[in-house]
Chains A and B, each alone.
Chain A
Amino acid sequence: GEEVAQTPKHLVRGEGQKAKLYCAPIKGHSYVFWYQQVLKNEFKFLISFQNENVFDETGMPKERFSAKCLPNSPCSLEIQATKLEDSAVYFCASSQFSDWSLTSNQPQHFGDGTRLSIL
């Protein structure tokens, strides 16, 4: 598709439950990124993929967060044993392949996010 599609729009979970979020990147885009936005301003990078391979996972809380981008499936972000502090809007973005020899990166295209509320 021509837009990054994220589902669900809203997700409510009790503390300790599992949450799973989905993202369909734009067709032809090689990179997928997940960001967490807390309190309507601060964006935190979580993880990026180049096709189905993890590229950078330095932002991921290792113990409870996991993510996948498998061929012919939406990408997913899963949070085990959710905590109140996981309440946030989670954004997925995709971008085209960058030829780094040209020292120019491609803009990222964002979905509308999934609002996760942990009660």
Chain B
Amino acid sequence: SQQGEEDPQALSIQEGENATMNCSYKTSINNLQWYRQNSGRGLVHLILIRSNEREKHSGRLRVTLDTSKKSSSLLITASRAADTASYFCATDAFGNEKLTFGTGTRLTIIP
């Protein structure tokens, strides 16, 4: 069964606005990763945050991790039409690289 839940399930915003999506998980983790999936394609790795990190940036992406609440958030700033996709968080445990995925957020950027 799925480890995590993502919130919201779907999000529509105007181009240029910021998009925030959240992920919760249930068990202890080693890393948390965010992936993007465009329609009909595989997952593209966006960013990895370790369990001992609280925040990480990569370009227009900002990820936070709160291990006490078992939650993470992904912020995409200054959204673009090309950001339209589904976004998944995924966790792994120390010593095992298999990923356990959240349910995904479908993001639509309105030009």
A interface residue numbers (CB < 8 A to B):
4, 31, 33, 35, 40-43, 45, 48, 56, 59, 91, 93, 95, 98, 100, 103-113
Contact = CB atoms under 8 A, between A and B. Distances in A.
Q: Give the bracket for the number of chain B residues in contact with chain A.
A: 20 to 34
Nearest to B6: A41
A104 B44 contact: no
Interface residues of B: mostly helix, strand, loop or mixed?
Answer: strand
Given A33-B99, A100-B95, A108-B97, A43 B41 contact: no
Nearest to B41: A112
Contact of B98 (A4, A41, A48): A48
Contacts of A108: 43, 45, 97, 99
A101 B25 CA distance: 24
B50 A103 contact: yes
Contacts, number: 64
A110 B42 contact: yes
12 contacts: A31-B97, A42-B103, A45-B99, A45-B100, A48-B98, A98-B97, A105-B48, A106-B97, A107-B48, A108-B99, A110-B45, A112-B42
B86 interface: yes
B14 interface: no
B24 to A, nearest CB: 16
A105 B43 contact: no
Contacts of A59: 98
Question: Which one of A4, A108, A111 has the greatest number of beta carbons of chain B within 10 Å?
Answer: A108
B33 A107 contact: yes
